[in-house]
A = this chain, B = another copy of it.
Amino acid sequence: MSVTKAFPEGQVFSADCPSRRLLGEITSKWGVLVLIALADGPLRWSGLLRRIGGVSEKMLARTLRSFEAEGLVLRDARPVVPPHVEYSLTDAGREVTDRLVPLVVWAEEYAVRAHTAERD
């Protein structure tokens, strides 16, 4: 069988494939930003909020919860007062960012390229 295909797997193309949901969460508007923010190292709630320009608390919370459930992000809450909560990537989470960061870096560079040369 052909091994020349660039994308041999075909599961995602099925509408009911579970990978669709997972992929949707990872590539969601705030999902990619949360993941690459954590790629630099653990961050606290307030740190994430400050780092990611434009996130609302609501969306940050929702995104973090879904990643926790998915096993991509770890939540470490120290029982102190005032509360101290730190978020970090799990091993699986790091596998994602390893693949995600190059994409985002490319997008930044291409956006600059287009902005500079007007792509004409």
Which A residues contact B (CB, under 8 angstroms)?
A: 5-7, 9, 11-19, 21-24, 26-29, 32-33, 36-37, 39-41, 51-54, 70-71, 92, 95-97, 99-108, 110-112, 114-115, 119
Chain B residue numbers with a CB within 8 Å of A99 are 99, 102-103, 106
Complexed CA–CA distance, A3 and B41 (Å)? 14
Determine which of B15, B23, B110 lies in contact with A22 in the assembled complex, contact meaning CB atoms within 8 Å: B110
The answer to whether A7 and B104 have CB atoms under 8 Å apart is yes
Complexed CA–CA distance, A32 and B29 (Å)? 13
Chain B residue numbers with a CB within 8 Å of A19 are 104, 107-108, 110-112
* A37-B9 contact, Cβ under 8 Å, with A27-B27, A27-B32: no
Complexed CA–CA distance, A71 and B118 (Å)? 11
The answer to whether A51 and B13 have CB atoms under 8 Å apart is yes
Chain B residue numbers with a CB within 8 Å of A112 are 18-19
Complexed CA–CA distance, A23 and B29 (Å)? 9
Complexed CA–CA distance, A11 and B115 (Å)? 14
Which 7 pairs across A and B sit closest by C-beta, in order of nearness? A15-B54, A27-B27, A15-B53, A19-B111, A99-B103, A6-B39, A18-B111
